[in-house]
C-alpha cells in the first residue's frame, strides 16, 4: 500500500487487503449474502463499527483512533 503498486485480487486476498475474492459472475450473489448477514447484526454495533472505521481513515496517529474506540466501548456498555 505504501508504494502505490497495483495488486491483483489473488495477492490482495493473500496479504489480507480483502476478506475473500469471488468470480465476477458471482459478485452480486456474494454481495447479497454479506448483506443478509449484516442485517442480522445490531444497529448500534454496525454504527459503532462504521464510526470506528471512518475515524481510523482520518486519524493522523493512533491516539485519536484509540480514544474513539474507548468511548465506543464505554457507550455500548
Find cell 486519524 and name the residue: 59
Which tens digits make up the pLDDT trace of 26-48? 999 999 999 999 999 999 999 99
- % of residues, the chain, pLDDT over 70: 74
Highest mean predicted confidence (pLDDT) among 10-14, 53-57, 66-70 = 10-14
For the record, the C-alpha cell of 43 comes out as 444497529
Taking the model in full, what pTM does it have? 0.55
52: left (phi > 0), else alpha (psi -120 to 50), else beta? alpha
- Given a contact cutoff of 8 angstroms between Cβ atoms, the answer to whether 72 and 48 are in contact is yes
Taking each helix axis as running N to C, give the angle between helix 43-58 and helix 62-76, from 0 to 180 degrees, rounded to the nearest 10: 170
Amino acid at each position: 500500500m505504501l508504494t502505490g503498486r497495483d495488486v491483483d485480487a489473488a495477492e490482495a486476498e493473500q496479504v489480507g487487503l480483502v476478506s475473500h475474492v469471488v468470480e465476477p459472475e458471482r459478485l452480486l450473489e456474494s454481495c447479497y449474502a454479506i448483506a443478509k448477514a449484516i442485517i442480522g447484526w445490531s444497529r448500534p454495533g454496525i454504527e459503532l463499527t462504521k464510526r470506528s472505521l471512518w475515524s481510523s481513515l482520518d486519524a493522523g496517529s493512533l491516539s485519536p483512533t484509540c480514544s474513539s474506540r474507548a468511548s465506543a466501548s464505554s457507550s455500548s456498555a
